[in-house]
C-alpha cells in the first residue's frame, strides 16, 4: 500500500491533541460543553541545515529536548483551555519568582521541569538498571550477558512504569487521544480523505511515534554497552550518562528513516516499537478523532497534500466541505456502524492503491 511521508507529528494532551507541522502547532481540546477549542501557535524551528542543530546524529538530541519542552508546554496550555486551572493564591515561592524574573518566570519553570524530567529519566531508565544488574556480578561472570540483563531491566522498568500509570483514568483517556493522533496521520499518509469514518478505520500505530523512539534508544543502548566495556562502577555510570546523546542521535536517525521507508527490513526492525505502542495507545472514540482532525486541519492542508501525492485518486482535487460534528456522547451502536462503513471504504481504497 502506498504511503507518503507528510511531515506532521503530534502528541496527546489533556482531553485533546496537539498537531505540529513545520513552524506551527495547533492544540485542540474537547471542552466540558462538548465544543472543540483550538489554539494555533508558532513554534521554535530548527536552524538552517548548516547549523549544529541539524547535523546528522546531533539533531536527534536537539529534537528530543525541543519535543520534551514543547510537550510540557502544550499539556499546560491544554489545561488552561479546559479551564481546569484553579484560582489559588500564589505561594510565596511563586510570588518571589514573578517578582524576580517577571515575564520570564513561565519559561524558567518550564526549563526547570524539563531538566527534572531528564534527571528522573536518566536515573530510572539508565542508572538504576545498571546498579541492579551489578548485584549479579558475582553470579554472572560474562560481561555480555550482564549488559543484556541490564538492557532487559531497562525495558522492564519502562513497561512497568507505563503499566503503573495506565491505571489512572486521565491517562487512559490520554492514551485514547494518542491513538486518535496516530490514526489521523495514517489517514492522510495513506491517501484517504480526512473525515471521522476514515480516521476511525486506520491503525493506531505509527513508526514515528515517541514510544518507538524510547524503545529504539533502549535496544541500541544494549548494543553500545556490550561494545564499550568499563569495569569500574563509577566510571560505568558516567559513561552511561555521557553516551545518552550519542544513543539518542543514532536512534533518531533510524526513526527518520523508518518514517520515510516501507522497506521490509525497516518494517521488521520497527516492530518492537510498534508492539510497545500497544501500551501507550488505545482505540479512540469518534469524537476524539474529530478533535484530532480539528488540530490537523489548522496546520496542515491535507486536501492539497492528497491532490499532489495521490493524483490517481483525486484527479479533480478535493472540494471544501462542511462536515457534521460528531456528538461526544455517540452510542456504541452508532460507533459500530461507523466502523463497518469505514472498513468497506478502506477495502475500496486498497484496491485502488
Residue 134: count other Cβ atoms within 10 Å of its Cβ.
14
The three-state secondary structure class of 29 is strand
CA–CA distance, 174 with 16 (Å, rounded to integer): 8
CA–CA distance, 121 with 102 (Å, rounded to integer): 30
* pLDDT bucket at 149, cuts 50 / 70 / 90: very high
CA–CA distance, 152 with 326 (Å, rounded to integer): 44
pTM of the model: 0.81
> At residue 322, does pLDDT exceed 70?
no
CA–CA distance, 204 with 225 (Å, rounded to integer): 33
Residue listed under C-alpha cell 495513506: 190
Residue 145: count other Cβ atoms within 10 Å of its Cβ.
13
Phi-psi region of 20 (alpha: psi -120 to 50; beta: other; left: phi over 0): beta
pLDDT of amino acid 321: 64
Of the ranges 27-36, 104-113, 153-162, which one carries the lowest mean pLDDT score?
A: 104-113
Q: Where are the beta strands (DSSP E) in the chain?
A: 9-13, 16-21, 24-30, 36-42
How far is residue 50 CA from its own chain's centroid?
27
Of the ranges 31-35, 139-143, 170-174, 213-217, which one carries the lowest mean pLDDT score?
A: 139-143
CA–CA distance, 114 with 120 (Å, rounded to integer): 10
* Mean pLDDT, residues 331-350 taken together: 42
Residue-range domain boundaries for the chain: 9-84+92-352
DSSP 285: P
pLDDT of amino acid 69: 83
> At residue 323, does pLDDT exceed 90?
no
- For residue 336, which phi and psi values (nearest 5 degrees)? -65, -40
CA–CA distance, 23 with 174 (Å, rounded to integer): 25
Q: What is the tens place of the pLDDT at every residue in 19-57?
A: 999 889 999 999 999 999 999 999 865 555 557 777 888
The three-state secondary structure class of 58 is coil
pLDDT of amino acid 49: 55
Phi-psi region of 145 (alpha: psi -120 to 50; beta: other; left: phi over 0): alpha
For the chain, state the CA radius of gyration: 22
pLDDT of amino acid 246: 92
pLDDT of amino acid 8: 93
| Distant-in-sequence, close-in-space partners of 87: CB < 8 Å, separation ≥ 6 | none
Higher-confidence residue: 100 or 244? 244
Amino acid at each position: 500500500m502506498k504511503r507518503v511521508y507528510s511531515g506532521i507529528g503530534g502528541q496527546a494532551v489533556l482531553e485533546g491533541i496537539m498537531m505540529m507541522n513545520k513552524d506551527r502547532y495547533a492544540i485542540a481540546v474537547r471542552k466540558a460543553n462538548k465544543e472543540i477549542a483550538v489554539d494555533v501557535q508558532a513554534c521554535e524551528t530548527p536552524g538552517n541545515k548548516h547549523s549544529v542543530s541539524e547535523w546528522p546524529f546531533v539533531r536527534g538530541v536537539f529534537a528530543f529536548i525541543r519535543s520534551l519542552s514543547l510537550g510540557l508546554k502544550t499539556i499546560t496550555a491544554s489545561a488552561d483551555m479546559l479551564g481546569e486551572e484553579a484560582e489559588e493564591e500564589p505561594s510565596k515561592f511563586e510570588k518571589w519568582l514573578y517578582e524576580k524574573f517577571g515575564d520570564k518566570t513561565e519559561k524558567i519553570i518550564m526549563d526547570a521541569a524539563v531538566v527534572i524530567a531528564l534527571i528522573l529519566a536518566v536515573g530510572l531508565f539508565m542508572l538504576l538498571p545498571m546498579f541492579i544488574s551489578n548485584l549479579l556480578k558475582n553470579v554472572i561472570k560474562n560481561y555480555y550477558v550482564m549488559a543484556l540483563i541490564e538492557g532487559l531491566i531497562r525495558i522492564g522498568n519502562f513497561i512497568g512504569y507505563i503499566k503503573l500509570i495506565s491505571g489512572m483514568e486521565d491517562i487512559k483517556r490520554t492514551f485514547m487521544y494518542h491513538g486518535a493522533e496516530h490514526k489521523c496521520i495514517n489517514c492522510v499518509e495513506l491517501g484517504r480523505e480526512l473525515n471521522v469514518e476514515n480516521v476511525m478505520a486506520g491503525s493506531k500505530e505509527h513508526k514515528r511515534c515517541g514510544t518507538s523512539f524510547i524503545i529504539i534508544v533502549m535496544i541500541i543502548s544494549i548494543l553500545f554497552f556490550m561494545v564499550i566495556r568499563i569495569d569500574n562502577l563509577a566510571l560505568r555510570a558516567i559513561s552511561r550518562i555521557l553516551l545518552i546523546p550519542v544513543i539518542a542521535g543514532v536512534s533518531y536517525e533510524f526513526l527518520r528513516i523508518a518514517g520515510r521507508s516501507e522497506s521490509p527490513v525497516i518494517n521488521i526492525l520497527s516492530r518492537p516499537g510498534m508492539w510497545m505502542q500497544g501500551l501507550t495507545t488505545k482505540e479512540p472514540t469518534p469524537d476524539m478523532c474529530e478533535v484530532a482532525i480539528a488540530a490537523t486541519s489548522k496546520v496542515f492542508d491535507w486536501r492539497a497534500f492528497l491532490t499532489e501525492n495521490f493524483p490517481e485518486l483525486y484527479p479533480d482535487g478535493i472540494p471544501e466541505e462542511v462536515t457534521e460534528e460528531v456528538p461526544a456522547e455517540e452510542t456504541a451502536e452508532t460507533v459500530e456502524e461507523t466502523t463497518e462503513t469505514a472498513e468497506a471504504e478502506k477495502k475500496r481504497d486498497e484496491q485502488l492503491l
